[in-house]
Amino acid sequence: MALSHLQTLVSAPDTQFGAPRWSPDGQWLAAERRRLGALPDVVVIERATGSVLQTLADASAHIVTPAWRPDGRALVAA
């Protein structure tokens, strides 16, 4: 299987993204973000622009494993 087109939505130095989940309508991507020196958080990325629209973070908790509700109106994370 050949991949005809790959596109990077977002990147940053010393940052890894994981557990990506597309919203049901395909407009947003939720992903774990792990940055050097910071606790993991979850970010919501707009597909069209690659902009981080929202960050789900807590200074004393690891926020990981995003999942969209089937209606796409909310995001659940552990």
Please work out, in degrees rounded to the nearest 5, the angle formed at the alpha carbon of residue 6 by the alpha carbons of 69 and 43: 35
Q: What is the pLDDT of residues 29-75, one digit of tens each?
A: 999 999 999 999 999 999 999 999 999 999 999 999 999 999 999 99
Residue 64, CA atoms < 13 Å, CB-side half-sphere:
10
Q: Which helix (H) or strand (E) holds 32?
A: strand 28-35
What's the CA gap between 13 and 28, in Å, rounded?
A: 22
Whether the per-residue pLDDT at 1 is higher than 80: the answer is: no
Compute the mean pLDDT over every residue in the chain, rounded to the nearest whole number: 92
Please work out, in degrees rounded to the nearest 5, the angle formed at the alpha carbon of residue 18 by the alpha carbons of 20 and 57: 90
Whether the per-residue pLDDT at 4 is higher than 90: the answer is: no
Residue 77, token pair as written in the block: 């994370």
pLDDT band at 24 (very low <50, low <70, confident <90, very high): very high
